[in-house]
Amino acid sequence: MKFIKGFLINLQFFTAIPIKLELPMDKEHLRKAVQTFPLLGLFQGIIYAYILFFLFEWTPFSHQAVAFILWLTTILLTGGIHLDGWMDTSDAYFSYQDKQKRLEIMKDPRMGAFGVISVIILLSCRFLFFYDITYKVKFLSYILIATVPILSKSVMGMMLLTVKTAKNEGLGRMFQAAANPKVLWIYPVYIIAYLYIAFLLGIGLISIGILFLAALVSYWICRRNARKWFGGITGDVLGASVEGTELLLWMTVWLLHYFVTG
């Protein structure tokens, strides 16, 4: 039951889905929430894959329309929570100030030019990747699309529990105080189960393996830069790590459709 409530906490915090329940926010339930980050990603990935399948099989929409609807879904489903972190982190980084000043900039509710420019670039790239993918859709495409948020949420959990917080407040600090790196033991279990199911479905594991490798590279980059630029993680830095990881993964899926699956 705590596992389910932990998953529902994630839906409340990280999606725009209305969960009208009074959920406990004690350490045990927040620990379960961290353990279900990849399941939250799986939930999102299934929605993305199903929408793409539905639009192709049951509507006369053009490739542009299909790509746009999928693109818009990735924004609306999360309520833009991670995009906010991406913009705040971009503003702070491109200020070229010291770590403390960057943290102060991230707390400022006003949005600067660099935040706006960075989110335009991010969303434009995502639309390009989706648009090109719609011309080469096959069964493996749905699996790869479903995999992307699983890996990005896994990176978020690993960042949360392996990088110290830059300040003693905020969402990141609240989750980190409730858990420790030992709870990440379940992430490899998810991965093994996922790969096993993919194997049973006869899906080429090479493409999925390349996605996993890209996620590990993204984790290393995000972990290194969070320490170097901000002295640790904040809620905004975690959001930026999710968006940055997904950008790299969507690009990887896009390239796979040209050079591997195509």
Residue with tokens 């890996």: 151
Would you say residue 260 has pLDDT above 70? yes
Q: What is the mean pLDDT of residues 66-75?
A: 96
Q: Are 257 and 133 in contact (CB under 8 A)?
A: yes
Measured from the Cβ of residue 158, the count of other Cβ atoms closer than 10 Å reads: 21
Q: For residue 96, what are the contacts with CB-CB under 8 A and spacing of at least 6? A: none
Between 189 and 1, the more confident residue is: 189
Q: Which residue has the tokens 């932990």?
A: 6
Q: Please state which of the ranges 3-17, 149-163, 165-179, 193-207 shows the lowest mean pLDDT.
A: 165-179
Per-residue model confidence (pLDDT) at position 261: 63
Q: Are 70 and 130 in contact (CB under 8 A)?
A: yes
Mean pLDDT of 73-90: 92
Among left, alpha and beta (phi > 0; psi -120 to 50; other), residue 170 is left
Q: How confident is the model at residue 127 (pLDDT cuts 50, 70, 90)?
A: very high
Residue 225's nearest CA partner among 81, 34, 92 is: 92
8 Å CB contact between 55 and 130: no
Q: Is 47 exposed, middle or buried (0-12, 13-18, 19+ CB in 10 A)?
A: middle
Quick one: pLDDT band at residue 150, thresholds 50, 70, 90? very high
Give pLDDT, residue 253: 96
Question: Amino acid identity of 174?
Answer: M
Q: Which residue has the higher pLDDT, 104 or 247?
A: 247
Helix ranges (H only) for 59-98 are 63-76, 81-93
Mean predicted confidence (pLDDT) in 214-231: 95
The average confidence (pLDDT) of the chain is: 90
- When pLDDT is cut at 50, 70 and 90, the band that residue 98 belongs to is confident
Which residue has better confidence, 105 or 215?
Answer: 215
Strand extents, DSSP E, the chain: none
Query: Is 101 a residue whose pLDDT tops 90?
Result: no
Q: Residue 161: which of 188, 186, 179, 185 has the closest Cα?
A: 179
Return d(Cα 210, Cα 217) in angstroms, integer. Answer: 11
φ and ψ at residue 165, rounded to 5 degrees: -80, 145
Report pLDDT for 20.
82
Domain ranges (residues) in the chain: 37-259
> pLDDT (tens digit, 9 = 90+) per residue, 8-25?
999 998 999 888 878 888
Of 11-25, 46-60, 107-121, which has the strongest mean pLDDT? 46-60
Rg (CA), the chain: 18
Crossing angle (nearest 10°) for helices 139-162 and 235-259: 150
State residue 58's pLDDT score: 94
Residue with tokens 């830059």: 166
| pTM, to two decimals | 0.94
The lowest-confidence range among 23-37, 148-162, 212-226 is: 23-37
